[in-house]
Amino acid sequence: MGHAGLAIGGFADHVRLLAPQSWLLVVPALALGTVGGGVADDLIKALLFAGAATFVALALTIHLGMQLARYAARREENFLAALFGEDPAPCFATDVEGQIGYLNAAASQRFVGGGGHRLLQALGDHCLYPGAVLFRLQSRAAARGAATEDLMTRRGTTRLSVHRVSAARFLWRLDEVPDRTPPGRSADLLSLPMLMCNRAGAVLFMNEAMRRLLGARPRRIDQIFVNPAQNSGEETVILTQGGTVRAVKAEIEGPGARREIYLLPLPVPASSAGFRADFDHLPVALVKIGGDGSLLAANLAARDLLQVPAAAGVRLPDVLEGLGRSLADWIGDVIADRSPGGAEVLRLRAAPTETFLQVTLRRIVEEGRPCVLAVLNDATAHKTLEAQFTQSQKMEAIGQLAGGIAHDFNNLLTAISGHCDLLLLRQDSDGLDFADLVQIRQNANRAASLVGQLLAFSRKQTLMPQHIDLYDVLSDLTHLLNRLMGERMRLELQHAPGLGLIRADKRQLEQVVINLVVNARDAMSAGGTIRISTEAVTLRQAMHRDRAVVPPGHYALVRVADTGHGIPPDRITKIFDPFYTTKRPGEGTGLGLSTAYGIVKQSGGFIFAESEPGVGSTFLLYFPINAQRGPAPAPAPAPLPVPAPMPLLPRPMLRQGEAVVLLVEDEAPVRAFASRALRLRGYVVLEADSAEAALSLLEDSSVQVDIIVTDVIMPGLDGPSWVRKALERRPLTRVVFVSGYAQESFADAQGLIANSVFLPKPFSLTDLTATVQRQLMH
């Protein structure tokens, strides 16, 4: 019955909104009646009177609804008053918008104001975040019919319940449930300090024991605890007016989402001399760290690694560095359990030599007190290997870059020097432009030499290795090296007897020795002695040195030592880098040692540097010995015949200008120069800018080709690949491969192609035409 009355009350709300406008319908009814009275036509008059009657009936219906709404509202109010009027708990009836339609006497007395305002305003000062609570409960009641929640208020715990009585009407009830053991009375009787706070950290209550301990009444728990986030059951530090106090914190969940925190103050810790003795002699370096980074304890192994006499008064951030952020923040995150710890490699600040330690942190709780346990390991060797590996990768990357740059420069220099040669052919030696053209060609040759040094460093230089005797090479160089010495410098040569033969390019090996001697000379501005010595060395096991591993075997060792100013330790690891030099501008390019490094490595050897500032430097070159020299040289065995990949058919030799040349080159400037140079010598030249275009040209059997001049590296098919296809139909055609890379990069592929030779870039007009003519006459 009561629910039906509340439903009618809901309907009354809607009718009540229309009631003030109901009598406005009488106006059009009177207007229609007046007009109908003056109309002669009976049909129109009847229609107008019928409309007037309709408006009057509608007005009467609305007026009747208004009366029914008032009656329903009175019934609803009487019903609610009879049901909840004398209820000691505040009760409210609201619509879906929270507008209060009824409140009982307890609600009127407790919450100032009558009906007509919102429930949110009434409860605004009663609990925290009333809007969220009301929305949450009303949503549950709309879905389930009812909802209840206990709230923490200033008076204690309040149980707020809501019932959905109709689609647009909700009944609210606030039932205050006071604590059976009020904190203000029972908790004050406890000798154990305790406090209550909410989830936001605001202190709601503290007992007398807590007030005596703190000596103040803080409003938030972060004003009480050094670390408020510590877990229950752990030791914590309390901030009091008399200083800090250690205590064990116990926390339980209280009613109304409250936190009840109890503290157990700790006595002064007892002596643990026996434990400290065991801890001190552990073979693992262990350190216990406090929240501020101070060393609480460090055993003997840890003190030796950290190079500190004792742990007292020492902070870890003052000893180690290199984390990338504050070391104290890292330790604080581990203690607060925000970070699991992990391992980091840090540098020791005060070490005389660069020393690295791997520090692994773990959070521990010792006698209820959280701290950090650190395990230390010496990571200096690991860090050194990492730096060496990084340097090796850097050298490899620089080598690849240098090789690629050298290839592109060789194409450019071929076009520059080639077109310069073409211009020189049309100039007299006494012409105005002849000297300028000669200067252009000379500087292009110097650039080609510089590119050759880059190729030497990247180990992509074209070498012609042979078995050579170091004694013969150094003896032949003596005259030239003496000319490089100044008047205040002396050159000494010492040869080891019975040194074996090595396999290397003689010209490039001479270049290595010359570069080292020139550097030694420049390092001795006040004069001195340069000693070049050789020695036979046998390694029984692999030698690990710097960034290299020298395998076991027999080696010829060449030492080039000087008595100059030496190389500082921070620079000796960079001396083989391209363009790195300590000389002043104009005195060197920084490619001498990098060239020597590349030549030695490409020859299968190893080069190392030793230096002491103020004493001098020594460069050591290890070359594998290929054949031991005996008492009498034995005659060289006849070389075994190498089978050709296909039978060579005899063909008549051609004279210069009596041949057709197929020129395949993807670089247009190089192709233009080579084509003009060959035509000037009387050859018929067919051009193609790719391997695919050349194969398409050769498909015509009527096209005669006597020799192919092709680049090795091209987009699509490379030189050896397309030439093998072409020789399947034209097996007698000679081939000249040209490339800015070293021959070794495609030597295996070229070895399978008969009648082929290699011409490195950059080449001159004479080099190209002479190579083509030699191939045709072969």
Check residue 326 and give its pLDDT: 80
Please say if the pLDDT value at position 598 is more than 80: no
Lowest mean pLDDT among 263-277, 299-313, 423-437: 263-277
Check residue 639 and give its pLDDT: 37
Check residue 496 and give its pLDDT: 86
Strand 501-504 with 203-206, pairing: unpaired
Check residue 652 and give its pLDDT: 42
Q: DSSP alpha helices (H): ranges in 469-539?
A: 470-484, 506-522
Check residue 23 and give its pLDDT: 58
Highest mean pLDDT among 466-475, 650-659, 691-700: 691-700
Check residue 663 and give its pLDDT: 93
Among residues of the chain, what percentage have pLDDT more than 90? 6
Please say if the pLDDT value at position 266 is more than 50: yes
Please say if the pLDDT value at position 537 is more than 50: yes
Check residue 99 and give its pLDDT: 86
Check residue 269 and give its pLDDT: 54
Please say if the pLDDT value at position 365 is more than 70: yes
CB 126 within 8 A of CB 134: no
* pLDDT tens by residue, 414-455: 878 778 888 887 777 776 777 778 888 777 777 776 666 555
Q: Return mean pLDDT, the chain.
A: 76
CA distance 187 to 288: 38
* pLDDT tens by residue, 600-654: 887 888 989 888 888 888 999 999 988 544 444 443 333 333 333 333 334 444 4
CA distance 691 to 695: 6
Residue 9 pLDDT level (bands cut at 50, 70, 90): very low
CB 535 within 8 A of CB 659: no
pTM to 2 decimals? 0.36
- Residue 440 — φ and ψ, nearest 5°? -60, -45
Highest mean pLDDT among 260-269, 370-379, 401-410, 595-604: 370-379
Please say if the pLDDT value at position 67 is more than 90: no
Check residue 407 and give its pLDDT: 67
pLDDT (mean) for 314-328:
82
Take residue 697 and report the two structure tokens written for it.
């040209």
* pLDDT tens by residue, 557-573: 999 999 888 888 777 77
* pLDDT tens by residue, 81-140: 777 777 888 888 888 888 888 888 888 887 755 445 788 888 876 776 788 888 888 999
Radius of gyration, alpha carbons of the chain: 50
Closest by CA to 356, choosing from 328, 325, 383, 374, is 383
Residue 287 β-bridge partners = 298, 374
pLDDT (mean) for 200-215:
84
Highest mean pLDDT among 142-146, 519-523, 655-659: 142-146
Check residue 403 and give its pLDDT: 62
pLDDT (mean) for 317-342:
82
Length of the chain: 778
CB 708 within 8 A of CB 738: no
Please say if the pLDDT value at position 207 is more than 90: no
Highest mean pLDDT among 28-42, 179-193, 387-401, 419-433: 419-433
Check residue 581 and give its pLDDT: 59
- Residue 580 — φ and ψ, nearest 5°? -95, 120
* pLDDT tens by residue, 727-767: 888 888 899 998 876 655 555 556 567 778 888 888 888 88
Residue 27 pLDDT level (bands cut at 50, 70, 90): low
Among residues of the chain, what percentage have pLDDT more than 70? 75
Check residue 744 and give its pLDDT: 57
The end-to-end CA distance of the chain, in Å, is 124
Residue 26 pLDDT level (bands cut at 50, 70, 90): low
Check residue 646 and give its pLDDT: 35
CB 85 within 8 A of CB 18: no
Lowest mean pLDDT among 222-226, 370-374, 379-383, 752-756: 752-756
pLDDT (mean) for 361-379:
82
Please say if the pLDDT value at position 271 is more than 50: no
